[in-house]
Amino acid sequence: MEQTLSIIKPDGVKKGLTGKIILMFEENGFEIKAIKKVQLTKKEAEEFYYVHKDRPFFDSLISFMTEGAIVPMVLSAESAISKNREIMGATNPKDAKEGTIRKMFAESIERNIVHGSDSPESSKSEISFFFNILEIL
């Protein structure tokens, strides 16, 4: 089994979609190994999204990710990383397939409801950013 990090972003939490999104993961064969609700500081958000620091959208991403609570979770399944990305849908909801989280719930490419790790390396570092070994069951 593979593990991946998924985050319900502030827009998803504010819209009351946390339960619906979690249910979608569970209905698609994911086991939730860890979950919490947190609010990132600016410094924490900058550290988490450091790979995007030179991108033009970095400041707006940091502002968005600190505007409210988020729900990070560790998901486990066969091919969890690719499966999660498939369920989330394309980053731009206009390009996302019907039935995906972003197609159903996202407003825009920047306010796109969820985050998911994109590789085994990022999954490992992103999981350890939010969870210690004792929190992952």
Q: Give residue-wise pLDDT tens across range 31-61.
A: 999 999 999 999 999 999 998 899 899 999 9
What is the Cα–Cα distance from 73 to 35, expressed in whole angstroms?
4
Percent of the chain with pLDDT over 70: 100
79-95: pLDDT as tens digits:
999 999 999 999 999 99
The predicted pLDDT at position 51 comes to: 87
Q: CB-based contacts of 88: which residues, under 8 Å, 6+ apart?
A: 6, 100, 101, 102, 114, 116
Average pLDDT, the chain: 95
Residue identified by tokens 């086991």 is 31
User: Can you list the domains of the chain with their CATH numbers?
Assistant: 2-131 (3.30.70.141)
Catalytic-role residue among 33, 83, 102, 115: 115
Confidence class for position 8, pLDDT limits 50, 70, 90: very high
pLDDT of 104 > 90? The answer is: yes
- Verify whether residue 52 is a known catalytic residue: no
Stated pTM of the model: 0.92
